[in-house]
Structure 1
Amino acid sequence: MCHHQPACPTADSADREAALSVACHPEQGWSLLCNGVLLFEDTGELLPDGRIIAPHRPLTTGHVTTAA
């Protein structure tokens, strides 16, 4: 599917999100990568074979608040 040189990571690669975007619809919250992965703004993914990858963004920002 990918015609880039060097080729982008495949949909089965751990770094599949590094593939280039071929269609982007931020108003709808998704992008289609050249490896066939649908990448959603919440970091969830739909792979070309129908597998679903649950969102994996951190739930916290890492900021620590302290009581005064």
Structure 2
Amino acid sequence: MCMHQPPCPAAVDSDREAAHTLSVRAEQGWSLLCNGVLLFEDTGELLPDGQVIAPHRPLPSPPSTQVKGLVAA
């Protein structure tokens, strides 16, 4: 269990990604957090109970329909 003070968020908490990193395998694209969560570089997660959290990268903004300096009528 986590020995940090204050303790790291649990794997079931919404802020679980804020836990301390124990191990990084950048060449493989993952990190192990103190709460047992495997965090992947694509923002996907594998929780200690086997639950998979799909990647949740922010979506790119749609292209603007407004030309800089001009306002659409």
Normalising by structure 1, we get a TM-score of: 0.88
Where do residues 34-53 of structure 1 align in structure 2 (5 Å cutoff)? 34-53=34-53
2:14 corresponding residue in structure 1: 14
Partner of 2:63: 64
Poorly superposed stretches of 4+, deviation over 6 Å: none
**Could you say which structure has the larger radius of gyration?**
2
What's the RMSD between the two structures over aligned residues?
1.7
Aligned residues: 67
- SS state at 2:17 partner: helix
**TM-score, structure 2 length as denominator?**
0.82
Segments of structure 2 that go 5 or more residues without pairing to the other structure are 68-73
Query: Which residue is equivalent to 2:28?
Result: 28
Q: Which amino acid aligns with 1:58?
A: P
